[in-house]
Structure 1
Amino acid sequence: MEQGVKLVGKVLTPKPLNKWGVRNILRAAWKELGEVEIKWVRENVFIISVKDEHVASKILEQVPWAVMKKVFCVVKWPPELALEELELDAVPFWVQIRGIPLGLASIENVQRVTKEAGKFIAMEDPGHARGFVRIRILVDTEKPLFKGCWIRRDSNKETWVEFRYERLQDFCYRCGRIGHINTECSVEMSGDGEGKCNGVGLRVCTERRIELRKIYFGIGWLTTLPPQTYLGFVVGISTNSYGIMRSLEELRSCTIDQDS
């Protein structure tokens, strides 16, 4: 498949996984999307070729994928970059910020709160009555997951806000990094810094329903648009079910059902 879109995927684990097993899991997950060619290139890294831009977008919008309970990150391969120049250890996650007062859920405050968690990508309209703010951030998996922080209220009191990561797979409860578990951890610990994770409570329940109407991308609120892909995920879908997870040969895939 010489023409089309090139993607690169990486299983985030220090242990080499069986390349045939990884390919079979991905093929099973993506077979309904369209024609996809998957080639092993080096340890835990795969080149993914697709003919259709729409198929590539569907794969990217559901990152992170999961393979054998490990995070599988997929990025688009721009023709002007070498394979070695691609950032494969930074993964976009949807994150729920819980405990933040509605009056403090402005874009400016949320960007300030998430500064240590990762690079801000987008934010859903905080006006939804679901009890949390939902954001998309780029997480550096070389660093511990950010579990939360204290924020100051108008009354000069402080409130603890916590971060919960959607579609989070194996991570180390000891050092808080993605890609290995406690028994495989070789990181020297110097104490638990504020906000750094080494415990439970970071995963979101695997099944829920929300309404996705407005998302802020740093250029303004986008709403009531046809389905489009921005930075690897779909926006502009009104009244849908999102985040319904299902298991497929140890791979969890997320579906978005659009109303007609």
Structure 2
Amino acid sequence: MKSELATTEYIIAANFFTKRALNMDAIAATFQPLWQSKNGFRLKNLGNHIVLFIFENKADVDNILANEPWSYDKNIMVLQRYEADSEIADLSFNLTHFWVQVHGIPVRFMNKEVAEGLCETVGQVCHLHNAPTEDGGSFMRVRVLVDISLPLCRGRVIALDDNREQWVTFRYERLPNLCFWCGCLTHSDKDCDRWIESEGMLAETEKQYGPWIKALPFNGKNRAVVSVLGFYTKRSANSTAEHS
């Protein structure tokens, strides 16, 4: 086919991790106010819980992908930028971005290098200009590309220089439903192999995860950390400005 016959479209392929049948009208109604696309978008159901979102504006696609994760009906929805000449079968719907809050770092170690080093256990740390690692006051906040085919990392032990060990906890912002038995986002508690193999006899105490892994929403407008200039530094800056 000649390339001039192709339309200029920007496409996101989405895999919905839910067992329910997809209602396309409901999906459109859900994401239209969330995404606020400049020129709107079209949807195409490919079956197997895969839907194409088709845009005329590349900026819409960039913005949507930059604001992952997304969920539908409280279940994870994994997105992939899709090139029209690609095969859907070649797409791998196992990676999505999360903001991860790292709790429990000793105050003197609460810095960018330590937080990002710890989050390498979670996934691939993203060094983006528009999504920098930041200090949330009682925690550090890091943007991470997470493999959802694996159990979420709950935390890790750190060794301090006085031979003590301390546990730091990872909590995930905008986290949808997950299996509290094994920590996977791709199925619910009742669909977990552990639950099925036990024939429903697992005790609540055997759950490795709980609601604590879901981080509270982060409000960047209410800054938890404020830097104040030294008295003489500020005075010198004012004097220079007046002189100019």
Distance 1:124 1:101 in 2: 21
Counterpart of 1:251 in structure 2 is: none
Structure 1 unpaired stretches of 5+: 191-195, 214-260
Matches within 5 A, 1:146-225: 146-187=153-194, 197-206=208-217, 208-210=218-220
Where structure 2 has 5 or more consecutive residues not aligned to the other structure, the ranges are 1-5, 199-206, 224-244
- Deviation (angstroms), 1:113: 1.8
Report the Cα distance in structure 1 between the residues aligned to 2:192 and 2:80, rounded to whole angstroms: 27
Alpha-carbon distance in structure 1 between the residues aligned to 2:37 and 2:151: 35
* Secondary structure, aligned partner of 1:124: coil
Q: Partner of 1:201: helix, strand, or coil?
A: helix
Asked if 1:42 is matched to 2:47, the reply is yes
User: Where is the strand percentage greater, Structure 1 or Structure 2?
Assistant: 1
| 1:90 corresponds to | 95
Describe how 1:22-101 pairs up with structure 2 within 5 A: 22-31=27-36, 33-78=38-83, 81-101=86-106
Q: CA deviation at 1:203?
A: 0.6
Identity of aligned residues (%): 24
For residues 125-144 of structure 1, give each alpha carbon's deviation from its aligned partner in whole angstroms, at most 9, with x where no partner exists.
44x46221111111111111
Which residue pairs with 1:115 in the alignment? 120
| Cα pair 2:133 2:143 within 8 Å, conserved | no
The 1:105–1:80 alpha-carbon spacing in structure 2 relative to 1, beyond 3 Å, is farther
Which protein is bigger by CA-based radius of gyration?
A: 2
Measure, in 2, the Cα distance between the counterparts of 1:171 and 1:156. 35
* In 2, Cα distance between equivalents of 1:129 and 1:186: 37
- 1:17 counterpart = 2:21: yes
3-state SS of paired residue (2:140)? strand
Q: 2 CA distance for matches of 1:92 and 1:3?
A: 27
CA contact (8 A) 2:119 2:142 kept: no
Compute the TM-score of the two structures, normalised by the length of structure 1: 0.69
Give the root-mean-square deviation of aligned CA atoms.
Answer: 2.9
Query: Once the two structures are superposed, what CA deviation does each residue of 1:10-66 show, in whole Å capped at 9, x if it has no partner?
Result: 1123x1432423344233533454321111112211111111111112211221112
From the two aligned structures, give the one with the greater helix fraction: 2
- In structure 2, the CA distance between the partners of 1:209 and 1:30, relative to structure 1 (3 Å rule), is closer
Partners of 2:108 and 2:86 lie apart in 1 by: 43
8 A contact 1:124–1:133 mirrored in 2: no
Distance 1:77 1:197 in 2: 36
How far apart are the structure 2 equivalents of 1:28 and 1:210? Answer: 22
Code of the residue aligned with 1:124 in structure 2: it is P
Are the aligned partners of 2:69 and 2:77 in contact in 1 as well (CA < 8 Å)? yes
TM superposition shift of 1:170: 0.6
Cα shift at 1:197: 4.5
TM-score by length of 2: 0.73
Asked if the contact 1:164–1:203 (Cα under 8 Å) also holds between the matched residues in 2, the reply is: yes
Determine the C-alpha separation between the residues in 2 that align with 1:178 and 1:164.
14
- Note if 1:2 corresponds to 2:10: no
Q: What is the CA deviation profile of residues 166-220 of structure 1, one whole-angstrom value per residue up to 9, with x for unaligned ones?
A: 0101101111111322122224789xxxxx95223011124x422599xxxxxxx
Contact 2:38–2:57 under 8 Å retained in 1: no
